[in-house]
């Protein structure tokens, strides 16, 4: 893939038995097909094949200078720099060539190199901050939406997570034959934050617009306020006691004869005190009707607010369940594919 930048040597070692050793160092930069599905917990298997450029197996024979275990030990000894990759294993083989194919087949040596990525930097810089942000979004459901602007907090959180992904985008792999599972993890976190913001907007719309809404349908009262409210551990607030209509009823009047009744009606028409009492009674009835109207409106608002709280807590429960199942599934996939790749070493 690149030119040889190793130092040039000019010495040959000639032994008494006719063996000549030309020890020429070579700096090889090669390519490797990478499987980054389990990034940053991935293990890569790379293959290096060495053969003659123009001489067939009948002209030149290639042999291993030492056992592959010794080569692995020497490689680990000279690799002083602890970079992103760790050498895990080294295997080698020499394919068998039938005698009749020596004149048209190249003699080949194959090395299989297993490399494991060190995930500490990616866990600290990518996974842990994402988990903290999604946990912060989860606990933001504890903010009361009727007293705190929860939507502004969630929008700030989404903006911060977007900036975080843009800054850390250079750390993600861009080459590979599959989409990394960590990208699915980031997309899931972002989607959950957006979904929680939409849920907050919906709840705030119910709580703030409840004054202009009409009475709740009966099936909504039965389903949400009676059954689902118990499921999410919410109960109806004790409403204010309504005025008992029986108390405002007048006492039963005694029975009078027809003559007495006619005489009483004449008195009602002529007595100014009784007419004043009648006017006061009409005003009290009007006040009572207004109070009943306001009490009924307050009861409707309370029902809508309780409905918003029930839906908020219900969606929060769904959020927690979906978040737990999704994270558990991703972790299981990570472990499964890591063990599957490790078993191939």
Determine the pLDDT at residue 83: 81
The predicted model gives 76-92 an average pLDDT of 85
DSSP E strand stretches across 43-84: 43-51
Range in 52-61, 63-72, 218-227 with the lowest mean pLDDT? 218-227
Q: What percent of the chain has pLDDT over 90?
A: 26
Q: What is the pLDDT, as a whole number, of residue 295?
A: 56
Q: How far apart are CA 237 and CA 265, in angstroms?
A: 49
Outline where the chain has alpha helix (H).
Answer: 68-78, 120-122, 128-139, 150-167, 181-208, 218-220, 229-231, 258-270, 272-342
Cα 253 to the center of its chain, rounded Å: 73
For residue 221 the two structure tokens come to 């009262």
204 Cβ partners below 8 Å, 6+ apart? 145, 150, 151
- Helix 272-342 × helix 258-270 angle, to 10°: 90
**Residue 86, helix vs strand vs coil:** strand
Say what the pLDDT of residue 127 is. Answer: 92
pLDDT confidence of residue 294: 59
Cα–Cα distance, 4 to 23 (Å, whole number):
15
Instruction: Give residues with Cβ within 8 angstroms of 121, minimum separation 6.
Output: 40, 84
Strand (E) or helix (H) holding 111: strand 108-117
Report pLDDT for 249: 43
Contact, 225 vs 169, CB < 8 A? Answer: no
pLDDT in tens, 302-311: 787 888 888 8
**What pLDDT was estimated at residue 338?**
79
Burial zone of 130 (CB within 10 Å; 0-12 exposed, 13-18 middle, 19+ buried): buried
Which is nearest to 109 in space by CA: 148, 162, 62? 62
Tell me the average pLDDT of the chain.
81
Tell me what pLDDT residue 293 has. 62
- Dump pLDDT digits (tens) for 244-263: 443 434 444 444 444 445 45
Mean pLDDT lowest among 126-130, 132-136, 309-313: 309-313
Q: Say what the pLDDT of residue 291 is.
A: 67
| 117-128-142 Cα angle (round to 5) | 160
pLDDT digits (tens, 9 = 90+) for 255-295: 444 444 545 555 555 667 777 777 777 777 777 766 666 55
Residue 5: pLDDT over 90: no
- The band of 196, judged by pLDDT with boundaries at 50, 70 and 90, is very high
Instruction: List beta partners, residue 49.
Output: 110
Find out whether 236 and 225 touch, Cβ atoms under 8 Å.
Answer: yes
Task: Answer whether 301's CB lies under 8 Å from 214's CB.
Answer: no
What Å distances lie between residue 202 and 135, 195, 197, CA to CA?
A: 21, 11, 9
Q: What is the pLDDT of residues 11-39, one digit of tens each?
A: 888 999 988 888 878 877 788 888 888 88
């Amino acid at each position: 893939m690149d030119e040889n930048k190793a130092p040039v040597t000019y010495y040959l070692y000639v032994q008494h038995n006719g063996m000549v050793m030309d020890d020429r160092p070579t700096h090889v930069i090669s390519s490797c097909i990478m499987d980054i599905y389990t990034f940053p917990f991935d293990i890569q298997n790379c293959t290096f094949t060495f053969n003659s450029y123009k001489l067939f197996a009948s002209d030149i024979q290639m042999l291993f200078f030492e056992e592959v275990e010794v080569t692995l030990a020497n490689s680990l000894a000279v690799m002083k720099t602890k970079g992103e990759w760790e050498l895990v294993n080294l295997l080698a083989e020499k394919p068998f060539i039938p005698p009749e194919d020596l004149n048209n087949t190249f003699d080949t040596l194959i090395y299989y190199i297993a490399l494991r990525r060190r995930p500490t930097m990616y866990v600290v810089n990518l996974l842990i901050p994402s988990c903290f942000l999604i946990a912060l979004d989860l606990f933001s459901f504890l903010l009361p939406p009727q007293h705190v602007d929860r939507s502004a907090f969630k929008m700030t959180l989404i903006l911060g997570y977007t900036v975080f992904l843009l800054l850390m985008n250079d750390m993600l792999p861009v080459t590979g034959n599959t989409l990394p599972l960590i990208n699915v993890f980031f997309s899931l976190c972002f989607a959950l934050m957006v979904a929680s913001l939409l849920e907050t907007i919906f709840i705030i719309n119910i709580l703030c617009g409840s004054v202009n809404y009409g009475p709740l349908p009966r099936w909504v009262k039965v389903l949400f306020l009676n059954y689902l409210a118990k499921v999410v551990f919410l109960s109806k607030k004790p409403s204010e006691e309504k005025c008992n209509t029986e108390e405002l009823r007048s006492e039963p009047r005694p029975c009078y004869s027809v003559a007495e009744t006619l005489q009483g009606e004449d008195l009602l028409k002529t007595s100014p005190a009784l007419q004043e009492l009648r006017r006061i009674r009409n005003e009290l009835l009007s006040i009572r009707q207004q109070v009943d109207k306001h009490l009924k409106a307050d009861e409707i608002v309370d029902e809508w607010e309780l409905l918003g709280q029930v839906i908020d807590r219900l969606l929060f429960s769904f959020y927690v369940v979906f978040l737990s199942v999704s994270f558990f599934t991703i972790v299981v996939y990570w472990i499964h594919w890591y063990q599957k790749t490790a078993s191939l070493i």
